[in-house]
Amino acid sequence: MISVEEATARVLGLCRPLEPERVPLAQAAGRVMPAPALAGRDQPPFDASAMDGYAVAGDVAPGMAFRVIGMAAAGHVFAGRVGPGEAVRIFTGAPVPDGATRVVIQEDVTAEGDRITLGDRLDASTNIRARGQDFRAGDALPPRRLRPADLALLAAMNIGSVAVTRRPAVAVIPTGDELVMPGEAPRADQIVASNVFALKAMAEAEGAEVRLLPIARDTEADLRVVLGLAEGADLVVTVGGASVGDHDLVGKVAGEMGLERSFYKIAMRPGKPLMAGRLNGAAMLGLPGNPVSAIVCGHLFMVPMIRTMLGQADPLPRIARARLAEAVGPTGPRTHYMRAKLSPGEGLPGIAPFVSQDSALLRILTESDALLIRPAGDGPRAAGDVVDYLPL
């Protein structure tokens, strides 16, 4: 059995960043931009008025009067120059006319015909946004997964299409004679395939394109057929059939189909019978069948693999800290990821693991907001001790 850290390093070693493709900006939400994007122009591209009012030149003082010589609006430049004693009617977003040094807001002005007189309380701001104040031509948006505000920034930079990493193709394969799909009529000795729907959703949330393949029955021939259907995937995720039972055939069949196994079994609970390797050019992750084991391993290994394929610099799940809300016993030889509940605390939140940690119990997973990480071989811990957890 290898450690979780070693297994993490090995599964990431199976993954390479995929090639980029160009997509229209309107389709780039959530995609990973692997290289910096450079602004095509300054923003604002001119000194711009931040308010509706009057653009004037030089110092201002209460009671000063100006003659209005023209108008500037957003999208409509005033072509002339503002001299002493002159003003240009201006609106928010308009280019500030040459010569003007401030915009007096209209609330501070009395207007009569083409004359304005300043009131007795003037705000100190120039109300001018300097050219390039937001960004300059050539400024970069660094590589990242694109969030809505990033798209707005790219648009302002005049970038109409963006190079993003191709979406990893992920094939998810449920295995087992006992499984039916949700909505079907299970026999009395069957259960409904569940964890694959969580895995699909998790992979899609990261930006993968996921194919949920048909259930592979517990025969070598059936597994061979369904593994064959995964052809073309960048990542093949099997679920179940990973353990030591007579019907656990995934390792055997994948081996015969060319799996170069990287490891089998890790010091982790749940998730001990995890398997990974390289299968005909794809990365392969063999998850245990127990619903919680599969989903926890999905968070720890599948998601970081997808992020690595997407070229994300920091693929590992974020680890946070909390204080134990109650004492916990020692852990065994495997790092234990315990379903747990967070509670508000001073400084750090409190965390309490659920009493039952049976890896078949999905309901407790849905009630959890964290996985408390108990390192392998850790001793008993007292309430108040600071511990690591994975937010869910």
Site for ligand LQZAQKY5, rule CB under 6 A: 174, 176, 178-179, 191, 193-196, 239-245, 248, 270, 272-273, 288-291, 293, 359
Q: How do 235-239 and 282-287 pair as beta strands? A: parallel
Q: Which does 355 bind (CB under 5 to 8 A by kind): ligand MOO, ligand LQZAQKY5, none?
A: none
Q: Which does 130 bind (CB under 5 to 8 A by kind): ligand LQZAQKY5, ligand MOO, none?
A: none
In whole angstroms, how close is the CB of 242 to ligand MOO at the nearest point?
Answer: 9
Q: Which does 42 bind (CB under 5 to 8 A by kind): ligand MOO, ligand LQZAQKY5, none?
A: none
Measured from the Cβ of residue 245, the count of other Cβ atoms closer than 10 Å reads 9
DSSP strand E in 240-377: where?
Answer: 259-264, 268-269, 275-279, 282-287, 320-324, 335-343, 350-353, 370-374
In whole angstroms, how close is the CB of 296 to ligand LQZAQKY5 at the nearest point?
Answer: 10
Q: Which does 248 bind (CB under 5 to 8 A by kind): ligand LQZAQKY5, ligand MOO, none?
A: ligand LQZAQKY5
Please, are residues 90 and 55 in contact by the beta-carbon 8 Å criterion?
A: yes
- Coil/strand/helix, residue 294: helix
In whole angstroms, how close is the CB of 266 to ligand MOO at the nearest point?
Answer: 9
Would you say 308 or 335 has its CB closer to ligand LQZAQKY5?
335
Q: Check binding of 293 to ligand MOO (CB under 6 A).
A: yes
Q: How do 144-145 and 109-112 pair as beta strands? A: unpaired
In whole angstroms, how close is the CB of 336 to ligand LQZAQKY5 at the nearest point?
Answer: 12
Closest CA to 372 of 321, 301, 302, 317: 321
CA gap 271, 293 in Å, rounded: 5
Torsion over CA: 31, 32, 37, 42 (sign): positive
Contact set for ligand MOO, span 267-286 (CB under 6 A):
269-272
Contact set for ligand MOO, span 354-373 (CB under 6 A):
359
In whole angstroms, how close is the CB of 346 to ligand MOO at the nearest point?
Answer: 34
User: Which residue sits closest to ligand LQZAQKY5, CB atoms considered?
Assistant: 289
Q: Which does 95 bind (CB under 5 to 8 A by kind): ligand LQZAQKY5, ligand MOO, none?
A: none
Please, are residues 376 and 331 in contact by the beta-carbon 8 Å criterion?
A: yes
Would you say 102 or 334 has its CB closer to ligand LQZAQKY5?
334
Would you say 43 or 175 has its CB closer to ligand LQZAQKY5?
175
Dihedrals phi, psi of 199, to nearest 5 degrees? -65, -40
Q: How many Cα neighbours within 13 Å face the side chain of 6? A: 13
Listed in sequence order, the residues at least 6 apart from 183 whose beta carbon sits closer than 8 Å to its beta carbon are none
Would you say 342 or 371 has its CB closer to ligand MOO?
371
Which structure tokens are listed for 57? 């030149």
CA gap 142, 106 in Å, rounded: 40
CA gap 191, 189 in Å, rounded: 7
CA gap 2, 15 in Å, rounded: 19
In whole angstroms, how close is the CB of 215 to ligand LQZAQKY5 at the nearest point?
Answer: 8
Q: How do 161-165 and 144-145 pair as beta strands? A: unpaired
In whole angstroms, how close is the CB of 293 to ligand MOO at the nearest point?
Answer: 3
The site that binds ligand MOO (CB under 6 A) totals a number of residues, namely 8
Residues lying near ligand MOO in the complex (CB under 6 A):
269-272, 288, 290, 293, 359
